[in-house]
């Protein structure tokens, strides 16, 4: 069977070198997209006629919010893969993504507060979207605490996967909260069915920042999963050989 089959890189021994080769590429892309996105967002995009210069925090806030939801969905996918196929790498990938997901959820909440104070006159309200995003942050923290509390890594992966799949119901609540309830948040400025309700430079700045955060997430996840692999596989022959070569 060809080495390019679906499960070839599901083994930690084959995924470890691949992650090491690809990580520098994603680091470079994260820097490139981030620099371009910040340049467009801070220096090229026009001043908003209602919010003035303060609106520019959206170039961090909105992509961070997107990534906080996307990463959790990716973790839930890896959790499902772990439960269905019992692959060791799946649990490792979920654990590698969790701190970055928590970081983006925290960044979403904090930048939202910084944006909300001058725009709404308050740092925090129990708005449906704010509250569901806070729940997402707690889900990340709860997942990391759960897997850290179980000594057996395989049992920890299974327990974490169940929590991830239960918690994924919160993602559509975050996304559709502005439609289901009366909230302070405006509706989506970017839609798959309608033209964007913002200047093209604003849109491109936001999309480039989202790409930067995405590339950053992959780069950091690859670095973190390599460390997890070495820790879990330290008693295997291939890791011992790798240590002897170092």
Token pair of 16 as six digits: 């470890």
pLDDT at 2 > cutoff 80: no
What pLDDT shows up at residue 126? Answer: 81
% of the chain beyond a pLDDT of 70:
89
Residue 86: left (phi > 0), alpha (psi -120 to 50), or beta? left
**pLDDT tens sequence across 204-239:** 999 999 999 999 999 999 999 999 999 999 998 898
**pLDDT tens sequence across 135-156:** 999 999 999 999 999 999 999 9
Closest CA relative to residue 139, chosen from 228, 222, 69, 82: 69
pLDDT band at 107 (very low <50, low <70, confident <90, very high): very high
**pLDDT tens sequence across 89-105:** 999 999 999 999 999 99
Spatial contact of 12 and 92, defined as CB atoms under 8 Å apart:
yes
pLDDT band at 108 (very low <50, low <70, confident <90, very high): very high
Neighbours of 30 (CB within 10 A): 20
Output DSSP code: residue 42. Answer: I
Token pair of 147 as six digits: 């897997």
> Which residue is listed with tokens 């439960």?
83
pLDDT band at 184 (very low <50, low <70, confident <90, very high): low
What pLDDT shows up at residue 186? Answer: 56
């Amino acid at each position: 069977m060809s080495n390019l089959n679906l499960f070839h890189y599901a083994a930690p021994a084959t995924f470890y070198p691949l992650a090491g080769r690809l990580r520098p590429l994603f680091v470079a892309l994260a820097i490139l997209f981030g620099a371009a996105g910040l340049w467009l967002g801070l220096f090229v995009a026009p001043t908003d006629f209602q919010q003035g210069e303060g609106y520019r925090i959206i170039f961090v806030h909105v992509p961070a919010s997107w990534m906080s939801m996307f990463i959790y969905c990716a973790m839930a996918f890896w959790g499902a893969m772990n439960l269905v196929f019992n692959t060791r790498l799946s649990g490792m990938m979920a654990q590698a993504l969790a701190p970055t997901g928590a970081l983006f959820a925290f960044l979403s909440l904090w930048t939202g507060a910084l944006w909300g104070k001058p725009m709404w006159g308050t740092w925090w309200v129990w708005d449906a979207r704010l509250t569901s995003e806070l729940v997402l942050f707690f889900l990340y923290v709860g997942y990391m605490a759960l897997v850290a509390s179980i000594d057996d890594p395989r049992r920890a992966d299974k327990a974490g996967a169940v929590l991830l799949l239960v918690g994924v119901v919160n993602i559509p609540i975050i996304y559709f909260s502005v439609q289901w309830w009366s909230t302070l948040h405006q509706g989506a400025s970017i839609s798959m069915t309608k033209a964007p309700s913002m200047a093209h430079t604003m849109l491109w700045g936001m999309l480039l920042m989202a790409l930067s955060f995405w590339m950053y997430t992959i780069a950091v996840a690859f670095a973190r999963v390599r460390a997890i692999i070495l820790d879990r596989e330290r008693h295997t022959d291939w890791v011992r050989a790798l240590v002897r070569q170092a």
